[in-house]
Amino acid sequence: MTFDGSSVNRRQGSDTKTEILDIALSLFVKKGYHETSMQDIADTAGLTKGGLYYYIKSKDDVLFLLHDRFIVEGLRRLRLVEAESLEPEHKLIELLKMHLQIIDQFKDDITLFFNCMKYLSDDKKQAVQEKRDEYEDIFVRVLEEGKIKGVFKVEDSHIVVLYVLGACNFMHTWYKPGKGKSIEELSDIFITLITKGLFQ
């Protein structure tokens, strides 16, 4: 991801805040979170520092917004799957596929967030946790439905979800888009491993 110095100003019809987040993410990946200053972001975006502060106030804001955009998009997609008229076993598979697609699409955002989330302010950490709880609850509800119907053999659906999502989320440390197995191939492997342990 590369940008010229005036990319924010020149892109017609683009969302300036989104452009700034993309630029900040690119700089964080290239230089490191601590090594990137707000001035660096402003310079690369072709903005004055005051102009940058109109959209974002701190690197803490940037980190929070980068998390927000992938978790909000993930929630939107998972809710669509949850609303479908599918049996719980098929719904779980579709949820897992969607989750892995999010990891593929937002790998840099996710990698940065997991590495730097400890730097968030307490109020932002709380807001992040609330959305993550909501995300996990979608999987929990599907497991509970399958448990009631005798499809899944689970004692504690929440613990199972934490284990499953944790295994998937760890992909950000080794998955390289465009190299090795595709996200579709990896999805098949993950889903086979996970479902074999859950189905009655």
- pLDDT 10s digits, 129-147: 999 999 999 999 999 999 9
Average pLDDT over residues 8-37: 81
Q: Supply the mean pLDDT for the chain.
A: 89
Per-residue confidence band for 178, with pLDDT thresholds at 50, 70 and 90: confident
Output the six-digit token pair for 122: 């307490």
pTM of the model: 0.85
Assess whether pLDDT exceeds 70 at residue 3.
no
DSSP assignment, residue 5? Answer: T
List, in order of start, the domains of the chain with CATH numbers. Answer: 7-55 (1.10.10.60), 59-198 (1.10.357.10)
pLDDT at position 40: 96
Contacts of 40 (CB under 8 A, 6+ apart): 27, 31
From 16, 156, 177, select the one nearest 108 (Cα to Cα): 177
8 A C-beta contact, residue 95 and residue 78? yes
Q: Using DSSP, state whether 16 is helix, strand or coil.
A: helix
- pLDDT tens column, 40-88: 999 999 999 999 999 999 999 999 999 999 999 999 999 999 999 999 9
User: How many Cβ atoms from other residues are within 10 Å of residue 198's Cβ?
Assistant: 17
> Given this model, what pLDDT does residue 4 score?
41
Task: Give residues with Cβ within 8 angstroms of 147, minimum separation 6.
Answer: 153, 154, 157
